[in-house]
Amino acid sequence: MTVFRETGWAKINLALHVRGRRADGYHDIETLFAFVDDGDVIEAEFADADSLTIAGEFAERLSAGGDNLVQQVLALLRARHGAGRVPPLAVTLTKRLPVAAGIGGGSADAAAMARLVRRHFLPELGDAALARLIGPLGADIAACVASATCLGVGVGAELSPVPELRLTETPVLLVNPRQPVATGPVFAAWDGIDRGPLFTGADLRAQLFAGRNDLQRPAMAQCPAIVDMLTELGALRPWLARMSGSGATCFALFDATAERDAAAANLAQSHPHWWQMTGALR
């Protein structure tokens, strides 16, 4: 039995500047995407008809129906390239990332499904072509296709590389209070103040220190535990700690793996109910 496998890498927003509201209800943003070397897992095998089974810690919060992005991606790629190229698949999604957590779980899973299909059935598709095809399903999906550090503007889907941000193998700790935070209400509660563009200086840390997450304040109003997580992470002396996306997940970047692991152990003892994931940036 042939089993195909792909990872939906966790996404973090190193910075997220909201620049304005758009007439279509979306927001113009500038964000620095980065990706962790761990996440959800998708496995697929040949079948007589498509199916989706969801397992893992956070499975119960997701629908396995046609509205699931994994199912939508599979249907979209088959509609574009034909059933002769994209066969029926029995898919299992192991949901290891919290839902509604600001780390792109649904988008990461959609992109992982697309990469799986591309790798085994549509190898002629490059990342850019794949992103153009499935990107309309969600603003973060285009960035999740390559799952590499990049700058996103517009609604976050207009991407460009940032070679000066050499972050590969940077130790990272993700923490979530196991409280979902809905993206729409957080964006709706943004105060409408444009606090300026991303700083793009030559110094990596200065660039990241000058960044911010403009959704952090409205997310805190919806989920006060974010304040506690950022306070606890800051006390563990990372070189950067910030909320990702629209929350509630927060991340911390460290200089050394041992520092990250010590911080993770400290939090596991003091806050055993918090979800956490350790890894390194891709």
Instruction: Report pTM.
Output: 0.95
Q: Which of 11, 38, 50, 109 is catalytic?
A: 11
Q: Which of 40, 50, 140, 214 is catalytic?
A: 140
Domain range for 219: 171-280
- Residue 57 pLDDT: 95
What mean pLDDT comes out for the span 35-42?
98
Residues 85 and 8 in one domain: yes
Assigned domain for 166 exists: no
Which domain CATH number covers 222?
A: 3.30.70.890
- Give the total number of structural domains in the chain: 2
Residues 51 and 183 in one domain: no
Residue where the block lists tokens 């590389």: 161
Phi, psi of 28 (to 5 degrees): -80, 125
Provide the pLDDT confidence category of residue 202 given band limits of 50, 70 and 90: low
What mean pLDDT comes out for the span 161-176?
94
Residues 157 and 189 in one domain: no
The CA distance from 179 to 99, in Å, is 9
Residues 177 and 157 in one domain: no
Among 16, 197, 205, 42, which Cα is nearest to 116's?
A: 42
pLDDT at position 200 over 90: no
Provide the pLDDT confidence category of residue 139 given band limits of 50, 70 and 90: confident
Residues 153 and 176 in one domain: no
What pLDDT digit, counting tens, does each position of 49-108 carry? 999 999 999 999 899 999 999 999 999 999 999 999 999 999 999 999 999 999 999 999
Is 140 one of the annotated active-site residues of the chain? yes
Helical residues (DSSP H) of 122-247, grouped into ranges: 127-134, 141-146, 183-188, 204-209, 216-222, 225-235
Which domain CATH number covers 65?
A: 3.30.230.10
